[in-house]
Amino acid sequence: MKDRILITGGAGYIGSHVANLLIDQGYSVSIIDSLITGHKELVPNKSKLYICDIANKKSVSKIIKEGDFDLVMHFAGLIRVDESVKEPEKYNDYNCEKTKIFLNMCFEAGLNKVIFSSTASVYGNPKKDKVSEDDELDPLNPYALSKLKIENFLINKSKILPINYIILRYFNVAGADEKMRTGLISKFATHLIKVACEVAIGKKSELIINGNDYDTHDGTPVRDYIHVSDLADIHLLCAKDLIKNKKSNIFNCGYGQGFSVNQVVSTLNDILKLKISTKIGPRRESDSKYVVSNSDKFQAYFSWKPKYNNLKYILQTALDWEKKNDYK
């Protein structure tokens, strides 16, 4: 019998990639998404979609009871750092309070295996070149804080209830499904690679580089970019492990390799064989200067090697998706 997996936020960028891979691998997938930021066209045809809020007790309780799921993957949430700084209460309400309501419904129904979508932003400005899972946590913005609160919620709940979790701390996720079934759609994108590709196809006039006076090799912030299809594969491995071994864990999700904003722009220019228009702007509040993963723990635990660890490939798939979905 196929394992049954419930996904929240499956109409979003990462959730839809994971849903597609799980279906490819023979899993039964059900999705809860309010479609407030998600997109119905990204939902795989072979999945079952429930359009509702994750904190709707009547609807969600019914879905969980009837679905008899083996595991839940929780992606649903607000993700814009800049917005979280301006509206911290909104992020606390959705990413924390509604998530707690949802997870408590899961636990009460016996759905006790959770994969939680967290962020490398919980580390703040790391004191080491490569940050490990047991390093100091110092969230610099309400978005990162909201993720850390749910990490702690899961850890504390596991001490009093028979639940198991895997917390995945994403570094900078980019690229698109190589079959072009899904990718990043956002009217308010702040993600560097997304915006740079929008400039490349003429959807935006220029890329604002938010600060070139950081203490990095070229003055621009450095990030660890991971292809979304590799991240989906990480979720697949974690699902198999959690269902079989029922062991809680926390893993970084990155390649352990950093690229600056300028390096990303330069690589995109090489692909395009022209230079996109850029402009130096002010730093963004709560931006970290250098965030790169130590991903040894995950790679050792699963004997895993990434398939798409190539900045040019990440950019090319992101660009191909943007061209395919030029929704002006």
Q: Tell me, what CATH number does 29's domain have?
A: 3.40.50.720
Residue 72 resides in a domain: yes
Tell me: do 111 and 197 sit in the same domain.
Answer: no
Residue 182 resides in a domain: no
3-state secondary structure of 64: helix
Euclidean distance between CA atoms 262 and 319, whole angstroms: 17
Tell me: do 285 and 166 sit in the same domain.
Answer: no
Tell me: the pLDDT tens digits for 166-178? 999 999 999 999 9
Report the pLDDT averaged over residues 79-106. 94
Total count of residues recorded for the chain: 328
Residue 108 resides in a domain: yes
Residue 186 resides in a domain: no
Give how many domains the chain has, as a whole number. 2
Tell me: do 29 and 165 sit in the same domain.
Answer: yes
Residue 298 resides in a domain: no
Q: Which of 51, 46, 73 is CA-nearest to residue 236?
A: 73
Tell me: do 120 and 210 sit in the same domain.
Answer: no
Supply the range of the domain harboring residue 48.
Answer: 4-174+225-253
Which range (4-8, 38-42, 79-83, 271-275) has the least confidence? 79-83
Which range (88-92, 189-193, 229-233) has the least confidence? 189-193
Q: Is 192 left (phi over 0), alpha (psi -120 to 50) or beta?
A: alpha
Tell me: do 68 and 26 sit in the same domain.
Answer: yes
Q: What is the dihedral of CA 239, 255, 76, 159, to 10 degrees?
A: 60
Euclidean distance between CA atoms 301 and 219, whole angstroms: 35
pLDDT at 326 over 80: no
Is 13 a known active-site residue? no
Tell me: the pLDDT tens digits for 99-146? 999 999 999 999 999 999 999 999 998 988 899 999 999 998 999 999
Task: State both tokens at 23.
Answer: 């279906």
Report the pLDDT averaged over residues 141-163. 97
Tell me: do 34 and 124 sit in the same domain.
Answer: yes
Q: What is the structure's pLDDT at 4?
A: 98
Q: What is the structure's pLDDT at 82?
A: 85
Q: Is 70 left (phi over 0), alpha (psi -120 to 50) or beta?
A: alpha
Q: Find the CATH number of the domain harbouring 212.
A: 3.90.25.10
Q: What is the structure's pLDDT at 328?
A: 42
Residue 187 resides in a domain: no
Tell me: do 212 and 118 sit in the same domain.
Answer: no
Euclidean distance between CA atoms 119 and 145, whole angstroms: 10
Continuous segment of H or E residues that includes residue 16: helix 13-24
pLDDT band at 1 (very low <50, low <70, confident <90, very high): low
Q: What is the structure's pLDDT at 167?
A: 98
Instruction: For the chain, count helices (H), then strands (E).
Output: 11, 14
Q: Which of 228, 186, 229, 194 is CA-nearest to residue 79?
A: 186
- Contact by Cβ (8 Å): 199, 189: no
Tell me: do 145 and 11 sit in the same domain.
Answer: yes
Tell me: the pLDDT tens digits for 277-305? 999 999 987 788 999 999 999 999 999 99
DSSP secondary structure string, 124-146?
Answer: -S-SSSSB-TTSPP---SHHHHH
Q: What is the structure's pLDDT at 27?
A: 97
Residue 183 resides in a domain: no
Phi, psi of 243 (to 5 degrees): -65, -40
Report the pLDDT averaged over residues 212-231. 96
Residue 28 resides in a domain: yes
- Contact by Cβ (8 Å): 40, 11: yes
Chain mean pLDDT for the chain: 95
Tell me: do 238 and 263 sit in the same domain.
Answer: no
- Contact by Cβ (8 Å): 10, 33: yes
Tell me: do 198 and 266 sit in the same domain.
Answer: yes
pLDDT band at 327 (very low <50, low <70, confident <90, very high): low
pLDDT at 232 over 80: yes
Euclidean distance between CA atoms 84 and 94, whole angstroms: 11
Euclidean distance between CA atoms 44 and 141, whole angstroms: 33
Tell me: do 73 and 140 sit in the same domain.
Answer: yes
Tell me: do 315 and 242 sit in the same domain.
Answer: no
Active-site residue, selected from the candidate residues 27, 143, 214, 308: 143
Give start and end residues of each alpha helix (H) in 29-141. Answer: 57-67, 81-86, 88-91, 99-108
- Contact by Cβ (8 Å): 170, 120: yes
Task: State both tokens at 270.
Answer: 């090489």
Euclidean distance between CA atoms 224 and 193, whole angstroms: 12
Q: What is the structure's pLDDT at 188?
A: 79
